[in-house]
Amino acid sequence: MHHHNHYYGQAHILARYCGFDDEFPPRIRGYLQHGWNVGDGWNPQHEFFDGAWRYVWSERPARRGYSERRHNYHVIGAPWLYLLELEPDLGVVPEDERRGTLWMPFHGWEGGKITGDHQALIDEIKDTETEPVTMSLYYTEYDQPEIREIYLDAGFEVMCFGRRGWNYEGTDTRFLYKQLEAFRGFKRVASNRLATAIFYGVSVGCEPSVYGDPMSLPTEDPLFGGYPRVRRLWPEMVEKVIDPAVARAITDEELGVRYRLPPQELAMLLYDAETNND
């Protein structure tokens, strides 16, 4: 199994859904898309073993991959959708008790740090939000005091859901569980880029908003058009006020709601034959 499959505990969620051990999930026979992606599900430099399956969330990444003469795609829906089925009540509160905005800024990763104007972003957030703001920083920013403290000094709550893991080490297998529990208590979800977190929030009833300095990563590869392409293809999702019906329709398509599979069928696609017969 490629170690990317473990990111955010997604392999563990799929194993649990299929009825297998989610502490030590069985090997997935291919590559699992781990986040929303404007390309074919992975970054342009990602290397693949010949003949391995590529498990993507929706039809769009598969079509982009086929256009690049890549092969062996299965569209299965996002692991997040299977978590929603497994945890229908986790974090649920009455609709009129949902409060605040969970603000999730674009983040760096183990191979690169973001650059941008955090103070300008804070100023725009204060000019825009009417709900109390909680900043959700990924650990790459949370562990930098100069970034974490600028948001604390601005009067925002600051939190971190943990680490996605790297090379099978340090994976917080409850990462997405904690996100789900949090999203279901917030009224709004916002970010400075249209990204995975926006779709997750919309899927559980948060009002979305996308605005502010999108910041940048020195390691971003422009092969698939980068963030400017996102703004061109989904302009209705890069606004301070987004039509909730439009947001839900786009979210359902990008997360692959119509491609969700029952446990037995998903297990047949993901795991080796000997695992299926256990």
pLDDT tens per residue across span 62-78: 998 888 888 899 999 99
Average pLDDT, the chain: 91
Token pair for 137: 């920083």
CB distance 204 to 185 below 8 Å:
no
Report the pLDDT value the prediction gives residue 228, as an integer from 0 to 100.
Answer: 86
57 vs 41, 138, 165, 206, CA distance in Å? 8, 23, 21, 21
Indicate if the pLDDT at residue 247 is higher than 80: yes
The contacts of residue 258 (CB under 8 Å, 6+ apart) are 77, 252
Confidence of residue 277 (pLDDT cuts 50, 70, 90): very low
> Which position has the token pair 């795609």?
73
How do 101-103 and 188-191 pair as beta strands? parallel
pLDDT value at residue 111: 58
Question: Can you give the pLDDT at residue 223?
Answer: 67
- φ and ψ of 213, to 5 deg: -55, 115
Q: What domains sit in the chain, N to C, each tagged with a CATH number?
A: 3-79+257-276 (no CATH), 95-255 (3.40.50.720)
Q: Name the pTM for this structure.
A: 0.93
The mean per-residue pLDDT over the stretch 26-36 comes to 94
Closest by alpha carbon to 11, among 91, 2, 160?
Answer: 2
Q: Confidence band (pLDDT; 50, 70, 90) for 278?
A: very low
Query: Residue 226: pLDDT above 80?
Result: no
pLDDT at 274 over 90: no
pLDDT number for residue 276: 44
> Is it the case that residue 221 has pLDDT exceeding 70?
no
